[in-house]
Amino acid sequence: MTVPRPASRPVEWRVSDNPVSYPEALGFMEERVAGIRGKGMAECVWVLEHPPLYTAGASTRIEELLDPGRFPVFPTGRGGRYTYHGPGQRIAYLMLDLETRGKDVRSFVAAVENWAIAALGRLGVRGERHEGLIGVWVDLGAHGGRPGEIAKIAAIGVRVRRWVSYHGLAINVDPDLGHFAGIVPCGIADKPVTSLLALGITATVTDVDNALMETFEDIFG
């Protein structure tokens, strides 16, 4: 599924090499969302990492925070439940004008999933959707595990304000997977989380950035 791109100025790309605090990232997103709608500012994709933290989505259940003192917890208005962010996880925040891209949130979420799948494909991983499960999954059988057993490699959570999107996509490159144990990731207790490194893919965050940039136009162009 492709989200049509408006005939306007190019999308601005920001790439941060050092960890960005969650409040700083959220403040920037909210300011850019307001600027896109009210001042005609350019759409933006910001690729970054956070220091270790948990975010709580709109559907969060407090009992799914298993280790409350482990890392800071930040409430957020995006969809979904608890999610971990930290070093070794590449995040792409999407501030796009959906008013000129069809005003279809469901199609936009599907496009973000397609983007993750396309980027992972560039890195030698076959990402999959699974009915009733948000995000992108991998069949571990293709990487030495039990055939048919799936694990989550990319989380998706978006918010839309006045038809401008923010928040976005997180791909596990080589994070400490033990950090996910402090929550029930995305409310799914019976399926594991994985990473490129755990699958035997020694990609760097730069490789992931390049894959995201190379496939962006195919999905959102």
Could you tell me if 71 and 54 are in contact, meaning their C-beta atoms sit under 8 angstroms apart?
A: yes
Residue 7 has pLDDT above 60, yes or no: no
The DSSP annotation for 146-188 comes to: -TT-EEEEEEEEEEEETTEEEEEEEEESS--GGGGGGB-GGG-
pLDDT class of 60 with cuts at 50, 70, 90? confident
Positions marked active-site: 186
Could you tell me if 167 and 157 are in contact, meaning their C-beta atoms sit under 8 angstroms apart?
A: yes
85-139: pLDDT as tens digits: 999 999 999 999 999 998 999 999 999 999 999 999 999 999 999 988 889 999 9
b/e code 137-170 from CB counts within 10 Å (16+ = b)? bbbbeebebeeeebbbbbbbbbbbeebbbbbbbb
Which residue ranges make up each domain of the chain? 12-220
* CATH fold for domain 12-220: BirA Bifunctional Protein; domain 2 (3.30.930)
Chain mean pLDDT for the chain:
93
Dmax over CA atoms of the chain, in Å, equals: 52
